[in-house]
Amino acid sequence: MAEATEIRKLVYLVTGGCGFLGEHVVRMLLQREPRLSELRVFDLHLGPWLEELKTGPVRVTAIQGDVTQAHEVAAAVAGAHVVIHTAGLVDVFGRASPETIYEVNVQGTKNVIEACVQTGTRFLVYTSSMEVVGPNIKGHPFYRGNEDTPYEAVHKHPYPCSKAQAEQLVLEANGREVHGGLPLVTCALRPTGIYGEGHQIMRDFYHQGLRLGGRLFRAIPASVEHGRVYVGNVAWMHVLVARELQRQAALLGGQVYFCYDESPYKSYEDFNMEFLGPCGLRLVETRLLVPYWLLMLLAALNALLQWLLRPLLLYAPLLNPYTLAVANTTFTVSTDKARRHFGYEPLFSWEDSRSRTIRWVRAVEGSAP
Ligand SMILES: NC(=O)C1=CN([C@@H]2O[C@H](COP(=O)(O)OP(=O)(O)OC[C@H]3O[C@@H](n4cnc5c(N)ncnc54)[C@H](O)[C@@H]3O)[C@@H](O)[C@H]2O)C=CC1
Ligand SMILES: CC(C)CCC[C@@H](C)[C@H]1CC[C@H]2[C@@H]3[C@H](O)CC4=CC(=O)CC[C@]4(C)[C@H]3CC[C@]12C
């Protein structure tokens, strides 16, 4: 017992800790970070599930707050040893304005960095995204690329632009002197498309399939490959990199790492069918019926309708020119940088990730869309 209290001395803060990824990071920290004494969970919207975590040996502090408010962030960061900054506005559908996306993703990240500097917090892990690299607006494929693969990263959409700016801020902050005189140590993780328990878009596809009588219609050629990564492995990578950042600051500081695991490379739709198939949906081949030019036209029409209807209502369908371009461009990563630098191995095998996700989709069955 004395030993346990001696070991438990670290305070971690997870921003966005009630989101899809954030919840997994929070739970993973409680399971796999034995040196944790307090876990602060900061989010705009706190989840009721946090209550059940408050009975364990780690003090779980729920903080309702907004990353765009510098004073709220500084208050939450003060006294924390490590910050894992996953909070972000993930919007590629036009639900939020570009200004709001920048405010949350860029200004929010600036606030987190400044809070670390002001309060003396030394270790910052940022959840970036593969989107900071691509796919680019030209639709160039990124095939089995790694952190050093040259790629023309040209973006226009506010989400990837904001993530790229925020990532750069985090990396540039590495080495800055924090309150107390020691250097800040930062790094960024770049997940590809995350899937697993709690994945809202998977839930939407599932309900859409149910509404269409158990069918989904193929829109994208099966030859277009996407890199996907299981949420539990992304969470595990955050826990591990946060730990190793403290041990190997010189090696890990200022670095970026793609998040990867053993999930197979497949088209976005074929990959989703790995889970939706066993839950009773089937993918109907419609390539001949829906040619790509027609999809582009529909996507452009959706964008126009979104713009025209904006004063009256929010029209934000899944299909728009940006999501179509991303869905239709091969983007896969193949790297071992995280293994070499901090000994990362996926915690969940593909089989395990798949069965956990299927179990979750089955549980979603019957729940309201
Ligand atoms: N979902 C995906 O496939 C990928 C996500 N990411 C990144 O991972 C991070 C987490 O994403 P998800 O869990 O998918 O999204 P999410 O929307 O489920 O979680 C984001 C969390 O941030 C919180 N948040 C948003 N604005 C906030 C604000 N102003 N102040 C405080 N909290 C705020 C939300 O309430 C939410 O709980 C994001 O930074 C995202 O860019 C990166 C790659 C892929
Ligand atoms: C109906 C269309 C033809 C197909 C729609 C699928 C799209 C909604 C999704 C295809 C690829 C997804 C993106 C990709 O996984 C990379 C991402 C990384 C992030 O950081 C955030 C999410 C996303 C942009 C993800 C969003 C949905 C897709 C565009």
For the chain (369 residues), the mean pLDDT of every run of 10, in chain order, is: 61 98 98 96 97 94 98 98 98 96 98 98 98 90 96 92 98 98 98 97 94 92 95 98 97 98 96 96 78 91 96 94 94 97 98 97 73
66 secondary structure, DSSP code: -
Q: Which pair of structure tokens corresponds to residue 99?
A: 């200004």
Burial class (CB in 10 A: 0-12, 13-18, 19+), 103: middle
Q: Which ligand is nearest the CA of 127, by number?
A: 1
* Phi then psi dihedrals of residue 286, to 5 deg: -130, 20
Which residues lie closer than 8 Å to 45 by C-beta, 6 or more apart? 18, 64
What is the per-residue pLDDT for 1? 41
Ligand 2 contacts CB of residue 202 (under 6 A)? no
- The sheet with strand 82-85 has its strands ordered as 59-64, 36-43, 10-15, 82-85, 123-127, 185-191, 255-259
Q: Which pair of structure tokens corresponds to residue 47?
A: 């989840």
Contact between 120 and 176 (Cβ < 8 Å): no
Q: Which ligand is nearest the CA of 271, by number?
A: 2
Residues 121 and 80: their CA atoms lie apart, in Å, by 6
Output the CA 106–ligand 1 centroid distance in Å. Answer: 13
Tell me: the pLDDT tens digits for 62-83? Answer: 999 999 999 999 999 999 999 9
What is the per-residue pLDDT for 138? 84
What is the per-residue pLDDT for 39? 98
Q: Which pair of structure tokens corresponds to residue 335?
A: 């790297």
Query: At which residue do the structure tokens 């670390």 appear?
Result: 116
Helix and strand numbers (H, E) in the chain are: 14, 13
Ligand 1 contacts CB of residue 86 (under 6 A)? yes
DSSP string over 106-140: IIHHHHHHHHHHHHT--EEEEE--GGGT-S-TT--
For residue 154, the SS3 value is coil
Query: At which residue do the structure tokens 């309201």 appear?
Result: 368
Q: Which pair of structure tokens corresponds to residue 332?
A: 């896969």
What is the per-residue pLDDT for 320? 96
Nearest alpha carbon, ligand 2 atom 15: 193
Tell me the angle at which helices 200-211 and 268-276 cross, rounded to the nearest 10 degrees. 70
Output the CA 12–ligand 2 centroid distance in Å. Answer: 30
For residue 289, the SS3 value is coil
What is the per-residue pLDDT for 3? 43
Find the DSSP H helices in the chain.
Answer: 2-7, 20-32, 70-77, 98-102, 108-119, 158-172, 200-211, 231-247, 249-252, 268-276, 292-309, 321-327, 337-342, 350-364
* Phi then psi dihedrals of residue 272, to 5 deg: -60, -35
DSSP H or E stretch at residue 334: none
For residue 41, the SS3 value is strand
Residues 271 and 252: their CA atoms lie apart, in Å, by 32
Nearest alpha carbon, ligand 1 atom 43: 129
Q: Which pair of structure tokens corresponds to residue 253?
A: 């500081």
Tell me: the pLDDT tens digits for 19-31? Answer: 999 999 999 999 9
178 secondary structure, DSSP code: P
Output the CA 89–ligand 1 centroid distance in Å. Answer: 5
Find the DSSP H helices in 33-178.
Answer: 70-77, 98-102, 108-119, 158-172
DSSP H or E stretch at residue 143: strand 142-145
Residues 196 and 22: their CA atoms lie apart, in Å, by 13
